[in-house]
Structure 1
Amino acid sequence: MFVEISCLKKCTVVVLLITSLLTIRCLSATTARRDSITLNESISDGQNLVSSNNSFVLGFFSPGASSNRYIGIWYNTVPNGTVVWVANRNNPVQDKSGILKFDSSGNLILVDGKGSSFTVASGVGVGDMEATILNSGNFVLRTNHSNIVWESFASPTDTWLPEMNIAVGNLLTSWKSYDDPAMGDYTFGVVNASRFIIRWSGHDFWTSASWNGDTYSLIPDLTSIDPIPVSFQCDDLTCTYTPNPIDRMTKIGLDQTGALNITQFDPNAKLWTLLWRQPASCDVSKLCGVYGVCNNNMLSVSARESVSPSLCQCPKGFAQRDTSNYRKGCTRNNTLQCNGDRFTDMPRMRLPDSDNRQKLSIVEESQCESACVNDCSCTAYAHTPSDGCSLWRGNLTNMQDEFDGSGVGTLHLRLAASEFESNSSSGHKMILLAYILPPVAFLIFCLASFIWIRIWKNKGKGKQHDHSLAMASDVMKLWETEDTCSHFTTLPFTQIKNATDNFCTENKLGEGGFGPVYKGNLPNGQDVAVKRLAANSGQGLPEFKNEILLIAKLQHRNLVGLLGCCIDGDEMVLIYEYMPNKSLDFFLFEQSRRAFLVWAMRLNIIEGIAQGLIYLHKHSRLRIIHRDLKPSNILLDSDMNPKISDFGMARIFDPKGGLANTKRVVGTYGYMAPEYAMAGIFSVKSDVFSYGVLLLEIVSGLRNAGPHGCGNSLNLLGHAWELWKEGRWHELIDKTLLGACPENMVLRCIHVGLLCVQEAAADRPSMSEVISMITNENATLPDPKQPGFLSMLLPVEADAPEGTFSLNDLSITILNGR
C-alpha cells in the first residue's frame, strides 16, 4: 500500500512538471517577437511587429509633444526611433485603445475604444492573408506568404527608403508640423521619370536637373560629396536609389518646411548626419508669395531652411498675410484710393514677373511715373536705361532684393497716401504741439498738484494710488514724448480679467520672477500672453516701468512684442504677443520633448537669439544689455522661431562707455558672467557669456546649473571644457537628436560657446563676431581659454537675491539669500 502511494506521488510530480514546461513553452511562443499578423490576430497599443532582421518596427507612437496615437514604422536600432511611415496620419486615435486587425472582408483596419474604424489597407478576403513588416521597412498585405496585394511603399508619407520605387503620381507629402504627421502643404515626386519636383499648395516650388541615364544627373550637387551618398536609377515610370555604402541606413525625406534632405545614420555617434539639403533660392517661383520680397543677401543664413522670415520680407505699406507661413505673401495695410496715391522707392530690385508687365516707349522717367499715376490699375512702375518704361498691374510676385547692387534697377511701388501721412505732416504736428502742449502741461500740473494735496492730507491711506498715479504718469509721458510702437496700448483691468476668464488656472502658461503668465483672448479675437505682477514678487514698479520704456521701442523679429499694459491700483499687467510653443526650457530640459528639437531647429534658435542680441547691442535706437538671458526667457513662435523676452532687468548703456557698475545684482545663477556676479560690472560681454551658456545647453540638452552628472565637473561649463581639452567634444552632443546633426557644425557651435564663456570679458567675442563665426564655415576660430565658474556647483536656475555686496579683490562674496 505504501509503495502504491509513493508511485502515485511520483507520477503526479512528473505530470505537473510536464504541464509546467508546456505552459512556459506556450507562453514563450506567444510573447516571442513576431513580424506579421494573420486574419485571426491583432496588435494593440503597446505591442509591435519587428522585421526579421531587427531593422524596422511597426507599432503605435505619439510624435513630439502630441498625445495622439498613430500606427507607424520606425527604425528599431536608432535611439528614440525615426518614423518613416504613418498609416493613419489624418485619423489619429485619441487614446491608447487602438487595435490593428483584419475585418471579415480581409481589410486591415484600425479600431479605437469607441468602435470607430479606419481602413489601413484593402485586402481580397483570402483566408491565408497576413500583414508583414519586411526587412526593407515595407509593410505589406500578402497571400501565400508571397503574393503582395498592398504595400506601404506604394503609399509613402514623407520618407523615401532604399528599394522604394517613386512613380509618377506616387508622392511624398510633408508632415503638417513636427508633432502632427497629417498631410502638409508640400509634395515631392517624379515628373515623367525625367526630374524630381517639389510643389507647395499645387505650385511648383523646386525642380531637379533632368535624368539622362547618369546616376547623379538628377542632383549634380551630390558629386561634390565624398563619398557620394546615393545613386539614382530611373526608367520611364519610376525612380529608386541605392545608398553608399550599401549597408548604411540612408533616407531621403521631405520635411515640414518643404526641403528635401538626404541623411545617413552614423552608427558610432548614433546620430543622423545631413549630407545634402535642397537649397533655398530666390529663383524659386513665387517663393515669397504676392508682394513678398526675397532677400538674396540672407541666403547664406537661410541655406539650411527652404524659407525663413529673414529670407521673405514685406515692403513698406504691407504686412504678412500669415506670420506662420511666409509663402502666403503680403497684404496691403491700406487700400489704394487712385487719386492721391504715392510711390515708395525700392532700389536694387530684380523686377517682378512679366505676366502683368507692360512696356511703354517713353523716354523720360517723369512721363513713366505719370502714366502709372493716371492708370488706377497700375500698382508699380520702373524706368531703366535697358528696358525703358515698364508698368505693372495687379499683384506683384517674384520680387527680389539684390543686396549687392546687381539688381536691374529701382521699382516704384504704389501705396495709399495714408502710408506717408505720418512723415509729411510731422512738421504741422510739431507746430500744433507747440501751441497745445503748454496749456495741456499746465492743466496736468494743476491736476497733479490737486491730487498730491489730497494724498498728503490722507497720508498712509493710499500708497497704492500714489504708485498707480506715478506709473500712469510715466506711461502718459512715454506716449507723449517717445516714438513707440503704434500697436502699444493701455487696457482696462476688467477687459484683461474677461480675456483670461478672471485669471483662470486653466489659462496659466507659467510663472517667472515678475509673476504668473496667462493666456488671454482679446475682444478682437487676438491671443495674447498676460503677465501679472504677483503680490510676493521680488520685482515691482521699477521692472514694470523698465519693460515698458525699453521694449515698447524695440522692433525685431527675434524680440517678443509688447502690445500693451494695465495699471489699476496695485494691479500691474503687461500684455505680450502670444507664443504658442512656450519657452525653450519647456522642450530643452524635458526628456520626452527634447527629441522634438531636431538639429536644424536648434541651429535656427541659436542663430535667432544671436540676431536678437546683435540688434539690442548694436542696431536698436537704445543700446540695451538684457542681463537675464536664459532658456525660460526665450519664447518660441508657431514656427519655433526664438524671441527674447523679459526686459525687466535690462539696462540702457552708452556704446562709448564700455563697462557699467551696479550694486544691485539681478539675474539667474548659471547664466551670470563672473565679473557681474562678483563685482557688479556689466557690459555687452555679460550677455555674450549668458549666450555662450545657452549655446552649450542647446547643443547638449543639459542645464549648466544643478547636478546632472557632468563627469568630474560640477557644472556644464566645466564638463564642456574637460571634454574639449581631451578631444572628446562629441560626447557633449545631445543623444536624443532625431534630425540631421553634421559634426563639423556642432563642433563649431561648441567652439563658439566656449569662446563666449571665457572668464575674462575682454577675451569674449562680440555678438556680431559670434554670428559670423557660426554662419561662416571658413572663418578661423581662436582657441578658447578657461571658462568662468569652472569649479562651482551652481543651484538649479534660481534668481540671484537682490542686495549689495563687498567689492573684494581677493575672494568672491557668496550670493546667498539672507
Structure 2
Amino acid sequence: MTFSPSSLTSKKAMAFIVLSILLLLTLVSAQNKQINITLGSSITAADGRLALAIRPICLRILPQGLTGFAIGVWLATSPNRTIVWTASRDDPPLTDGSITLTFDGRLLWGASGGQEKAISQASEPVTTASMLDNGNFVLYGTNQQVIWSTFSSPTDTLLPGQSLVSGSELYSSVSETDRSTGNYRLNNQNDGNVVSYPAGTLDDANNAYWDTGTFQIGFPITLALNSNGVLYITGNNGNYSKNLAQATTSSGVDVYYRAIIDVDGILRLYSHTFGTNNASTTKVEWAALNDRCLVRGVCGLNSYCDLGPDGEPNCLVHRASNLSTLIKFPLVARVTPPALETAQ
C-alpha cells in the first residue's frame, strides 16, 4: 500500500501493531492531522479486520453481527470501539476483500470472483482520499475539491463539525452490534422543526415523541455539533441559533464528542475522554428524553410502558379475567444501549 509522502512527516513513523485478531495500520501525522490515500492504494482485510487510522479515529473493515463485516469509521474507545459511520448499512455482511481507490478514481470494495461494490457516490473521478482527525473520510477531485465525504451521508451519528441539513434524517441502528437501520429516526424537517419518530411512520404529530419546538420558525434550520460539545440548531443565514445541549466535560485534544439517535430512539450527546495507554471514559452529557417510556412505539399495540426502578422500560398488557379485573404481565424485552455514567 502506498501513501503520499506528506502523511509521513510526524515524529512517529509508520507502525504496524498486531493484536490477536486485529491488524491495525496506524499513521499519525501531528502536522497535517490527516492521512492521504493515493490512486492505486488499497486497505486489505487481515484476519478479516484492518483499519486506516488517525488515532482515535479509524476507517475500518468492522464486524457486522456474527456472520461478516461492514465498512465503517470508528472511534477507538475502550473497552469497546464506538462505530460512528457505516457504509451501505443495510447490505448483506461482507466476508472478505479489500477497500481500493482505483487508478480510474473510484473507491470500491472488491472481493474474490470479481465482486465489486462502490463505497461512495462521488460526482467525478477521485484523485486522493483522506481520513481527517475529526472523523470525516473525504474524497477529493481535481484541484483538491471535496466531492464526497462521510460527513455528507451520516447514518445515526453527528461528529464535531458535522451537520444535519434540512430535509435529512438520522436513523438508529438495530443494536450495538448490528448497524443496520433500526426502529427510530431523527428528521430535520423542511418546516424548521427537528423531530423524532418511529421508523416507517408518517411525519405526523401523532407519531412524534420529541422535537426542538421550532415548527413555526419560518425558515429551514441545520442541526450541528461543534468541537466544544455544543449541540445546536441554526438558520436564517446564521442570524438564528439555539443551543440544545452543552457538554459539561471540558473540551480539549483528548476529548471527543458525538451526538447519536441511540438504539432506543433517544437523541443523546456523549463525550469520550482519552487518557494514558489508550484508555477512555464515556459519559452521557445530555439526553433529549430521560424517560424511555416516552419514546413512541417502545411497546406494541394493546400494551403500555412501565418504567422500572433501574430506568428500563417494561412493556405490559392488560388481560381481563372478568369485566372488573385486569392482570398485567411483561410483554417483550427491549434492546438497550450500554450503561454509561450520566452527567449531573
TM-score (norm 1): 0.31
Is the 8 Å Cα contact of residues 157 and 259 (structure 2) preserved in structure 1?
A: yes
Instruction: Quickly say closer, same or farther: Cα 1:283–1:123, change in 2 above 3 A.
Output: closer
Match of 1:299 in 2: 307
Matched, 1:81 2:91: no
How far did 1:293 drift? 3.0
Match of 2:110 in 1: 111
Matched, 1:187 2:188: no
With CA pairs under 8 Å and 6+ residues apart, which has the higher RCO, 1 or 2?
2
Aligned partner letter, 1:120:
I
Match of 1:232 in 2: 232
Is the 8 Å Cα contact of residues 283 and 343 (structure 2) preserved in structure 1?
A: no
Q: Structure 1 CA distance, aligned partners of 2:60 and 2:319?
A: 51
Which among 267, 276, 279 is matched to residue 286 of structure 2? 276
Is the 8 Å Cα contact of residues 45 and 59 (structure 1) preserved in structure 2?
A: no
Match of 1:566 in 2: none
Is the 8 Å Cα contact of residues 176 and 182 (structure 1) preserved in structure 2?
A: yes
Instruction: Quickly say closer, same or farther: Cα 1:71–1:242, change in 2 above 3 A.
Output: farther
Matched, 1:62 2:60: no
How far did 1:44 drift? 0.8
How far did 1:180 drift? 1.2
Is the 8 Å Cα contact of residues 40 and 102 (structure 2) preserved in structure 1?
A: no
How far did 1:235 drift? 1.0
SS, match of residue 179 in structure 2: strand
Identity of aligned residues (%): 22
Aligned partner letter, 1:122:
Q
Is the 8 Å Cα contact of residues 265 and 295 (structure 2) preserved in structure 1?
A: no
Which among 729, 734, 741 is matched to residue 340 of structure 2? 741
Matched, 1:50 2:53: yes
Q: Structure 2 CA distance, aligned partners of 1:192 and 1:279?
A: 27
How far did 1:141 drift? 1.0
The structure whose residues are more often strand, as a share, is 2
Q: Which has the larger radius of gyration?
A: 1
Matches within 5 A, 1:675-686: none
Aligned partner letter, 1:109:
L
How far did 1:161 drift? 1.0
State the Cα deviation string for residues 31-56 of structure 1 (Å, max 9, x = none): 872723222111111443223xx331
Match of 1:265 in 2: 272
Match of 1:152 in 2: 150
Matched, 1:206 2:196: no
Match of 1:17 in 2: none
Instruction: Quickly say closer, same or farther: Cα 1:264–1:62, change in 2 above 3 A.
Output: same
**For structure 1, which runs of at least 5 residues remain unmatched after alignment?**
1-26, 220-227, 318-341, 348-554, 559-636, 642-737, 746-818
Is the 8 Å Cα contact of residues 73 and 86 (structure 2) preserved in structure 1?
A: yes
Instruction: Quickly say closer, same or farther: Cα 1:232–1:42, change in 2 above 3 A.
Output: same
How far did 1:67 drift? 3.8
Match of 2:27 in 1: 33
Instruction: Quickly say closer, same or farther: Cα 1:32–1:55, change in 2 above 3 A.
Output: closer
Match of 1:177 in 2: 175
TM-score (norm 2): 0.68
How far did 1:169 drift? 2.6
Q: Structure 1 CA distance, aligned partners of 2:251 and 2:108?
A: 35
Match of 1:163 in 2: 161
Matched, 1:246 2:278: no
Instruction: Quickly say closer, same or farther: Cα 1:316–1:233, change in 2 above 3 A.
Output: closer
Is the 8 Å Cα contact of residues 271 and 741 (structure 1) preserved in structure 2?
A: no
How far did 1:154 drift? 1.5
SS, match of residue 91 in structure 1: coil
Q: Structure 1 CA distance, aligned partners of 2:143 and 2:329?
A: 61
How far did 1:200 drift? 0.9
Aligned partner letter, 1:57:
C
Is the 8 Å Cα contact of residues 272 and 739 (structure 1) preserved in structure 2?
A: no
Matches within 5 A, 1:210-609: 210-211=213-214, 230-236=230-236, 245-247=250-252, 248-267=255-274, 270-277=280-287, 278-280=289-291, 288-294=299-305, 298-299=306-307, 301=309, 303=311, 305=312, 308=313, 310=314, 312-316=315-319, 344-345=323-324, 557=330
Instruction: Quickly say closer, same or farther: Cα 1:315–1:276, change in 2 above 3 A.
Output: same
How far did 1:68 drift? 1.2
Instruction: Quickly say closer, same or farther: Cα 1:154–1:743, change in 2 above 3 A.
Output: closer
Aligned partner letter, 2:280:
K
Q: Structure 2 CA distance, aligned partners of 1:638 and 1:67?
A: 24
**For structure 2, which runs of at least 5 residues remain unmatched after alignment?**
1-12, 17-24, 29-34, 202-206
Q: Structure 1 CA distance, aligned partners of 2:75 and 2:143?
A: 23
SS, match of residue 48 in structure 1: strand
SS, match of residue 153 in structure 1: helix
Q: Structure 2 CA distance, aligned partners of 1:293 and 1:73?
A: 37
Aligned partner letter, 1:270:
S
Matches within 5 A, 1:750-769: none
Is the 8 Å Cα contact of residues 264 and 273 (structure 1) preserved in structure 2?
A: yes
Instruction: Quickly say closer, same or farther: Cα 1:133–1:346, change in 2 above 3 A.
Output: farther
Aligned residues: 290
Match of 1:502 in 2: none
SS, match of residue 62 in structure 1: strand
How far did 1:99 drift? 0.8
SS, match of residue 174 in structure 2: strand
Aligned partner letter, 1:252:
A
Instruction: Quickly say closer, same or farther: Cα 1:75–1:61, change in 2 above 3 A.
Output: same
How far did 1:263 drift? 1.4
The structure whose residues are more often helix, as a share, is 1
Is the 8 Å Cα contact of residues 130 and 145 (structure 1) preserved in structure 2?
A: no
Q: Structure 2 CA distance, aligned partners of 1:91 and 1:283?
A: 31
- Please, what is the CA RMSD of the aligned residues? 4.2
How far did 1:107 drift? 2.7
Instruction: Quickly say closer, same or farther: Cα 1:186–1:176, change in 2 above 3 A.
Output: same
Aligned partner letter, 2:307:
L
Is the 8 Å Cα contact of residues 167 and 189 (structure 1) preserved in structure 2?
A: no
Is the 8 Å Cα contact of residues 273 and 740 (structure 1) preserved in structure 2?
A: no
Is the 8 Å Cα contact of residues 106 and 124 (structure 1) preserved in structure 2?
A: no
Is the 8 Å Cα contact of residues 14 and 27 (structure 2) preserved in structure 1?
A: no
How far did 1:246 drift? 3.4
How far did 1:639 drift? 4.5
SS, match of residue 121 in structure 1: coil
How far did 1:73 drift? 0.8
Match of 1:141 in 2: 139
Q: Structure 1 CA distance, aligned partners of 2:120 and 2:341?
A: 38
Aligned partner letter, 1:279:
N
Aligned partner letter, 1:58:
L
